[in-house]
Structure 1
Amino acid sequence: MKRIYIDEDPSGSVQLPDDIHHYLKNVLRAKEGEPLGILTPTSFCEGVLERMENRKSFISITSKRPVVKPGYRLSVYQCALKREYMDFAVEKYAELGATEIIPVYSSRSLRELKDKTLARFGDISLKAVLQSENEHLPVIHEPCRIEDIEADNADRLLFYEREGESRGLGLTSRDVAMIIGPEGGFEPEEAEMLKGKGFRSVSPFKPILKAETAAVVFTGLVRMELE
């Protein structure tokens, strides 16, 4: 079933916003009479594409229930990467069910992300959530400096290829923070600082992964253990 997202809970027959009409018509190639899933901030609805005109579309809602909220908290701190790599990482974090994404400025990362970049991250994560049939949109936070990180999660993982203290994740809760470094990795003093903030260094693999590869692999490992 094709899925769309709208900001308000619909009921009855609803005219869709212009951008959603465009998305249905030109991207999803939806047809009249086709069933649709409609995700909102609080509900998941099923409906039918009742009518599609040249410039507007109407859906008819047939059922509604509360969204399924994740039974865990997964906060991902990602040191800022070049555009195509950061976009990829954000997409995969959303697909894999991260609940929060926090861009981080570190010694070897990009040092600035503009407001329009954060808005793009929101669009990317929304499309990834719809594609993966998740029902929770990750919160995209404002970037922070690595020295300003104050994670309050019960488990805090530092994926550090140079000095991993253990191969296994060893999670003790369903409240996890993880941090992945930039291209070129962390400076040793940054890793030590993060350990002082309660992050436990782990290195599940001997090969040194690219940052965007690590985003997928390590988030997947965490989700597997959470599941």
Structure 2
Amino acid sequence: MTVAHFFCDDVAGDTVRITGDDAHHASRALRIRVGEEITVSDGRGTVVRAHVSDVSPSAVVAGVVARTAVEAPSPSVVVFPAMPKSGKLETVVQKLTELGVDEIKPWFAARSVVRWDADKAATRLRRLRAIAREAAMQSRRAWLPSIGEPGPLEKLPETTVVLDESAPTGLTASLPSVAPLVVGVVVGPEGGLEPEEVARLVAGGARAVSLGHAILRTETASIIGPALVLARYERLG
């Protein structure tokens, strides 16, 4: 049986206390019982094993029996998905978190149809971060990914690839053999990137790459591209 995994800001003491929606989920959906072992991370690399001593819909309390420090994965993978239509970004955030991506920074491309209303932006961002947190619990991550607020595309990592269906070079072949500290992956919206956008990114040091002959949906490319980067540097597969 898989041990349930949770997140808690403070795991430094002899006990951990899980509250809010996580406690309700643990007690009602997962049916966590006194005596069970769970793992809890602070989202910053510290993971503890703990034995549950008390369970209620409002709080789960567990005594720490072991503590482990997990190094941040390397290279760090940062994904820049252009804002897609409807709820596709939620799926992208969920799947990228499960894969192990470190940062997700949505951006508004020229062909992005969706524009966040300022009044709703904070609520939508909280929703994305909650989805990432849930996915990180499911995939038992020690480090929570950073989910950035959508905005213009700027401050790209030194090693960045731009997914472009017309590029002559494949993504995997374009990556350096020695892993850099950070790899960025830029993905366009429905309809793709404007040629001017690709040219500007390439002029700034990014490399245009292809995922092959098939034309993928933006949400598919947003998952496949980073997965290939993770696999290239043995963080996946």
- Residues 21-170 of structure 1: pairs in structure 2 closer than 5 A: 21-42=23-44, 43-53=46-56, 55-109=58-112, 110-112=114-116, 114-146=121-153, 149-151=154-156, 153-161=157-165, 163-169=166-172, 170=174
Relative distance call for 1:77 and 1:55 in structure 2 (3 A) is closer
Shift of 1:138: 1.3
| Larger CA deviation: 196-205 vs 4-13 | 4-13
Q: Give the TM-score of the pair, scaled to structure 2.
A: 0.87
CA distance in 2, matches of 1:98, 1:53: 33
CA distance in 1, matches of 2:42, 2:58: 23
Shift of 1:137: 1.1
Q: What is aligned with 2:204?
A: 197
Q: Which ranges of structure 2 fall in alignment gaps of 5 or more residues?
A: none
Q: What is aligned with 1:8?
A: 10
CA distance in 2, matches of 1:144, 1:18: 30
**1:77-128 CA distance string (max 9 Å, x none):** 1101124210000111111221111110011112226111111111111111
* Cα-Cα RMSD: 1.7
4+ runs of 1 displaced by more than 6 Å? none
| Larger CA deviation: 11-20 vs 87-96 | 11-20
- 2:111–2:191 Cα contact (<8 Å) kept: yes
How many pairs does the alignment contain? 223
Relative distance call for 1:53 and 1:143 in structure 2 (3 A) is closer
CA distance in 2, matches of 1:26, 1:131: 16
Q: Which ranges of structure 1 fall in alignment gaps of 5 or more residues?
A: none
Report the 3-state secondary structure (helix = DSSP H, G, I; strand = E; otherwise coil) of the residue aligned with 1:21.
Answer: helix
CA distance in 1, matches of 2:155, 2:71: 28
Output the amino acid matched with 2:155: E
CA distance in 2, matches of 1:116, 1:171: 36
